Amino acid sequence: MNHREALLTGLLRVADDHLILGHRVSEWCGHAPMLEEDLALPNIALDLLGQARALYTYAGEVEGQGRTEDDLAYLRREREYRNLLLVERPNGDFAHTMLKQLYFSSFMQLWWTAACGSADATIAGISAKAVKESAYHVRHSAEWVIRLGDGTQESAARMAQAVEDLAPYVDEMFAPDDVGSTLAPQMLPDNPALRASWDAQIATVFSEATIEPHVPRASISGGRDGRHGEEMGFLLTELQYMQRSYPGAQW
């Protein structure tokens, strides 16, 4: 894998993560358990989509084939998406949503912080804005994980189930690959090197939430290679509907 191919793949991966998770979070609009969350979650979704847009725009420039952010977001096939399996998981209950958000936001806060020192000025510039947004996402989701984990018997049971269900998807965030070996750490962060800090951050939240960590029997991966769960097809059907039904439509 040459440098340009690695950079394009790396940008698309992170952009896809944010697009797909942003869509998942937006599904709570009008369905959140309280009015405050009905305002907070769409704003988080907008942050994620804004980060995706910046990355897709730069990915299109790196690719050099004239594809726009809309082309990359809406006109690729399922196997062309390289997002983590974690972010495409169905929302489930509120405990699942908040834990998934905590896992990803904590990872991305570390990632954006490291990327602020990228030798690529565009990546560094995107990261400088995104790291501030990620800090809020971590704080918001951590507060809910603590509130639910150390709450009622019912909320604690739901959070414990979320920990068990999502544990197999964690390792994929930190898996080494050709992109990392080509670009890290000068251009993009070295994902495996972020693991210790992520573990420590999650352990702190779990301790306050009185949550026991769960060690899965096996890890589940494949999203970085374009192998997704069946839920991804349904998600893309909804996400891409307008663009594919009315190509090139403008407001």
**Confidence bin at 203 (pLDDT 50/70/90):** very high
Q: What is the pLDDT of residue 139?
A: 98
Residues 102 and 137: their CA atoms lie apart, in Å, by: 8
Amino acid at residue number 10: G
Q: Is residue 59 part of a domain?
A: yes
Q: Is residue 141 part of a domain?
A: yes
Mean pLDDT of 150-157: 97
Predicted confidence (pLDDT) at residue 128 exceeds the cutoff of 90? yes
Quote the strand ranges of 69-194, DSSP E: none
Residues 132 and 110: their CA atoms lie apart, in Å, by: 11
Cβ–Cβ under 8 Å, residues 201 and 127: no
Q: Is residue 95 part of a domain?
A: yes
**Number of separate domains in the chain:** 1
The two tokens of residue 71 are 């082309």
Q: Is residue 93 part of a domain?
A: yes
Residue 31: is it exposed, middle or buried by C-beta count within 10 angstroms (0-12/13-18/19+)? Answer: exposed
Predicted confidence (pLDDT) at residue 62 exceeds the cutoff of 90? yes
Give residue 232's domain range: 3-245
Q: Is residue 45 part of a domain?
A: yes
**Confidence bin at 250 (pLDDT 50/70/90):** confident
CATH number at residue 142: 1.20.1260.10
**Confidence bin at 1 (pLDDT 50/70/90):** confident
Q: How many CB atoms lie within 10 A of CB 106?
A: 24
The C-alpha angle with vertex 43 and arms to 136 and 194, in degrees rounded to 5, equals: 40
What percent of the chain has a predicted confidence (pLDDT) above 90?
94
Residues 122 and 219: their CA atoms lie apart, in Å, by: 33
Q: Is residue 250 part of a domain?
A: no
Per-residue pLDDT tens over the stretch 63-109? 999 999 999 999 999 999 999 999 999 999 999 999 999 999 999 99
Cβ–Cβ under 8 Å, residues 118 and 186: yes
